[in-house]
Amino acid sequence: MGDRGGGAMREGGEGRAGEDHGTRGPCPECGLAGAAAGQLVCRGCYVPFALMTAPPKAAPLKLPGITRRDAPGRALRLVFPDGAAVVEPGGRIRLGRDPQQCPDVRFLVGRDNLSRVHASVGVDPDGSAWITDEGSTNGTFVRGTRITAGERVALRPGDALRLAADVTARVES
């Protein structure tokens, strides 16, 4: 049975859209190897094989074996009126008035309406940012909506964040 690239596939060989091979070589876009016969898009970067241009036979393209999922994400920056906090990919910080438990935001110490540990903010290794309310008394608000304690809510650059009634922050990347 032929694939949409044209022709039956044979085991082995470097493949390009439209050639006869059982598996394709590495994806020219992301470097992921081993596309199966009949697979129309790369499972690493989701680019259709038919749209890719393969390297010339004489000089095969060697790409590192990383995909977008492996690439380091971007740090998240929370800008408060009194200071800023940065969360690196794979990291997490606590927001609150207790300087022992929330050392990254010591500028929030005088805010009596904040809980000792009010919320946590993290950035996954892929760059996905999030916030969780830690059971605060006066609430955590993202884009104007109060979030439920323990709920993990996505953060995006440009989002407005509010802790309690008056502690605001802008999300930047």
Predicted confidence (pLDDT) per residue in 26-52, tens digit: 776 677 776 666 677 777 776 676 555
- Mean pLDDT of the chain, nearest integer: 78
* pLDDT digits 0-9 by tens, 45-99: 766 765 555 444 455 545 455 454 544 568 999 999 999 999 999 999 999 999 9
Q: What is the pLDDT of residue 35?
A: 66
Does the pLDDT at position 109 exceed 50?
yes
The reported pTM is: 0.59
Q: What is the pLDDT of residue 9?
A: 38
Cβ pair 172, 77 in contact under 8 A: yes
What does the DSSP 8-state code read for residue 36? B
Q: What is the pLDDT of residue 11?
A: 40
| pLDDT range class, residue 122, cuts 50, 70, 90 | very high
Q: What is the pLDDT of residue 66?
A: 45
3-state secondary structure of 49: helix
HEC per residue, 58-122: CCCCCCCCCCCCCCCCCCEEEEECCEEEEECCCCEEEECCCCCCCHHHHHHCCCCCCCCCCEEEE
Q: Which residues contact 113 (CB under 8 A, 6 or more apart)?
A: 138, 164, 165, 166, 167
Q: What is the pLDDT of residue 60?
A: 52
